[in-house]
Amino acid sequence: MASFLVEGARSLSGAIRPAGNKNAALPAIAASLLGSGPTTLKNMPRILDVNTMLEILESLGAEVTWEGQNVVCIDPRSVRSGTVDESQAQRIRASLLLAGPLLARFGYVRLPPPGGDVIGRRRMDTHFLALEALGATVSLNSGFEIQCDRLRGADVFLDEPSVTATENAIMAAVLADGESWIRNAASEPHVQDLCHLLKAMGAEIEGVGTNQLRISGVKKLDGATFTIGSDHIEAGSFIGLAGVTGSEILVKDVPIKHMESTFLGFRRLGIHIEIEGSDIRVFGESKKNIMNDAFGSLPKIDDGPWPAFPADLTSIALVTATQCTGTVLVHEKMFESRMFFTDKLVAMGANIILCDPHRAVVAGPSKLRPANLESPDIRAGMALLIAALGADGVSRIQNIGQIERGYERIDERLRNLGAKIDRID
């Protein structure tokens, strides 16, 4: 199993550009199944989760061709089945995104339970309720089978603003008979990207970026050429990287309009961020004082549905707080197992009290020690890599496949900033 050998306590400098949004790329791959011709996706991140998703489509019969480093063409015309291989589906949570498009195309889909990060309970009920509202019948056994004679438009109220359930409902509704409303919909940037791709393919969708979507079903969709947006989570990770390593880093081609809550969260930690057109400059070497709330109350960074602070950045914010002066409560509301990686930071010297599965109090700054670490999930893995880069000494990070599921060539790109990272295969 591959690992990273990381020599920390080195100041970094230079420019880095976020890759394409992982969470937009995966539903875009799934949506390509709805086209009557090839779809070309640009700015596609070359990460393990993308490779896995493309392998699943190939096993279904799609033709996948890489036309450049980050350009992939998917031709779905040879797909003849709605049954997904169990071993492949269990490698990735996003395999669940195939339910909507395969159901819309074949009227039948069989999927085993999906895999993915173990960060807490991740309900699938919202997916099933949405598809049932559109006319499908769901049978649950070791996996699940969904079938319908014909999808029909409906007023769908999601019982929670689940990103992937919203995406499945959208992909099913675009080819349903009649008009659909999807209410309490997730509106994250990656959901918006999916809607824009489907509109480029010929779908009729109104309300993109809001929590209410109006979809008029069409008879067929064409292929399209579409560019995946920059990853706002990766850009936020680089803000944390600059803060922990005390470095000045220029992050280029940032989706500024999608990062207001991210900027607010890191500025609350005392991280100095300046916007320069479509770029941001992060001054991690400046004094980092955590901003108390009014009347000296303990400040809090907490996540929530868009446009709140992203859940995928709470791990990064937490490790950043260990190098800031003051005390902050980090409240991860959405997943009850995501905070358990904090024991590894405590072993490195961080001053953290884990109050319960959702809340941790961080007091800083703390001098971090090197350690032998293991990546528990994508975001915690990146947080631990950032911690290792801030620690005084050499750390080893195991199970880096978790990090590489979501961050493209991260060791190579960080070495370009001056980081000392060796990949040991």
DSSP H stretches of helix in 275-350? 314-321, 342-347
- Domain containing residue 363: 3-19+230-424
Is the pLDDT confidence value at 123 over 80?
Answer: no
Are both 331 and 258 inside the same structural domain? yes
Residues 313, 178: Cα–Cα separation, whole Å: 39
| Domain CATH for 343 | 3.65.10.10
Phi, psi (5° rounding) for residue 313? -110, 0
Query: What is the per-residue pLDDT across 150-178, written as a single tens digit (0 to 9) for each?
Result: 999 999 999 999 999 999 999 999 999 99
Percent of the chain whose pLDDT exceeds 70: 97
Domain final position from 176, 196, 227? 227
Average pLDDT score over the chain: 93
Chain position carrying tokens 């990460």: 47
Query: What is the per-residue pLDDT across 289-322, written as a single tens digit (0 to 9) for each?
Result: 999 988 888 999 999 999 999 999 999 999 999 9
Write the single-letter amino acid at 176: A
Domain final position from 227, 248, 264? 227
For residues 281 and 46, the answer to whether their CB atoms sit within 8 Å is no
Are both 273 and 262 inside the same structural domain? yes
pLDDT at 295: 84
Residues 70, 207: Cα–Cα separation, whole Å: 29
The residues with which 279 forms a beta bridge, in sequence order, are 276
Chain centroid, CA 336 distance in Å: 17
Name the 3-class secondary structure at 117: coil
Residues 143, 158: Cα–Cα separation, whole Å: 22
- Say which DSSP state 345 is in: H
- Say which DSSP state 322 is in: T
Interior angle at CA 123, CA 122 and CA 124, nearest 5:
125
Percent of the chain whose pLDDT exceeds 90: 81
Token duo for residue 251: 């992050």
Q: Higher-confidence residue: 295 or 123? A: 295
- Number of folded domains in the chain? 2
Are both 215 and 315 inside the same structural domain? no
Residues 241, 13: Cα–Cα separation, whole Å: 11
Q: How far is CA 341 from CA 5, 79, 214, 346, 378, in A?
A: 19, 41, 40, 9, 12
Are both 331 and 297 inside the same structural domain? yes
Name the 3-class secondary structure at 292: coil
pLDDT band for position 35 (cuts 50, 70, 90)? very high
Query: What is the per-residue pLDDT across 319-359, written as a single tens digit (0 to 9) for each?
Result: 999 999 999 999 998 777 788 899 999 999 999 999 998 99
For residues 205 and 215, the answer to whether their CB atoms sit within 8 Å is yes
Is the pLDDT confidence value at 122 over 60?
Answer: no
Is the pLDDT confidence value at 121 over 50?
Answer: no
Are both 215 and 137 inside the same structural domain? yes
What value does the mean pLDDT take over residues 210-232?
97
Are both 203 and 323 inside the same structural domain? no
Write the single-letter amino acid at 380: A
Chain centroid, CA 375 distance in Å: 16
Residues assigned a catalytic role: 117
pLDDT at 115: 59
Chain position carrying tokens 């005084």: 392
Are both 11 and 26 inside the same structural domain? no
Are both 14 and 64 inside the same structural domain? no
Query: What is the per-residue pLDDT across 53-88, written as a single tens digit (0 to 9) for each?
Result: 999 999 999 999 999 999 999 999 999 888 888 788
Are both 213 and 239 inside the same structural domain? no
What value does the mean pLDDT take over residues 133-144?
85
Are both 342 and 205 inside the same structural domain? no
Query: What is the per-residue pLDDT across 256-299, written as a single tens digit (0 to 9) for each?
Result: 999 999 999 999 999 999 999 999 999 999 899 999 988 888 99
Are both 390 and 401 inside the same structural domain? yes
Phi, psi (5° rounding) for residue 381? -60, -45
Q: How far is CA 403 from CA 49, 54, 155, 252, 378, in A?
A: 10, 19, 39, 21, 5
End-to-end CA distance of the chain: 6
Are both 15 and 31 inside the same structural domain? no
What value does the mean pLDDT take over residues 87-107?
88
pLDDT at 120: 40
What value does the mean pLDDT take over residues 96-102?
94
Domain final position from 212, 227, 242? 227
Poorest-pLDDT segment among 180-184, 197-201, 330-334: 330-334
162 HSE (CA, 13 A, CB side): 24
pLDDT at 13: 97
Residues 94, 110: Cα–Cα separation, whole Å: 15
pLDDT at 346: 96
For residues 2 and 424, the answer to whether their CB atoms sit within 8 Å is yes
Residues 123, 120: Cα–Cα separation, whole Å: 10
